[in-house]
């Protein structure tokens, strides 16, 4: 299996982790909106990349 696929999945998990970072009451609370934005964008981009690579694998390219 392609090793880069695991990297994409790890990036998606990192996006979910960024969504949870600001849930705790620390000095990072002021960066809540930035963490949410970066987390959501990361999840969306790498999910679409995985879907695209899956479609290419199904088509045999």
pLDDT digits (tens, 9 = 90+) for 14-59: 999 888 876 566 777 777 888 889 989 999 999 999 999 989 989 9
Q: Is the pLDDT of residue 61 over 80?
A: no
Contact (CB, 8 A) for 37 and 17: no
- Find the distance separating the first CA and the last CA of the chain, reported in whole Å: 15
Q: What is the pLDDT of residue 23?
A: 59
Q: Which of 54, 53, 47, 51 is nearest to 16 (CA)?
A: 47
Q: What is the pLDDT of residue 24?
A: 66
Q: State the Cα angle at 45 between 41 and 48, rounded to 5°.
A: 140
Structural domain total, the chain: 1
Look up the domain containing 51 and give its range: 3-59
**Rounded Cα distance, 21 and 44, in Å:** 18
Q: What is the pLDDT of residue 40?
A: 93
């Amino acid at each position: 299996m392609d090793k880069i696929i695991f990297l994409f999945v790890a990036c998606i998990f990192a996006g979910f982790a960024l969504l949870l970072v600001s849930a705790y009451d620390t000095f990072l609370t002021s960066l809540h909106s930035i963490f949410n934005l970066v987390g959501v964008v990361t999840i969306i981009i790498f999910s679409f990349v995985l879907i695209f690579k899956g479609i290419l694998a199904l088509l045999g390219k």
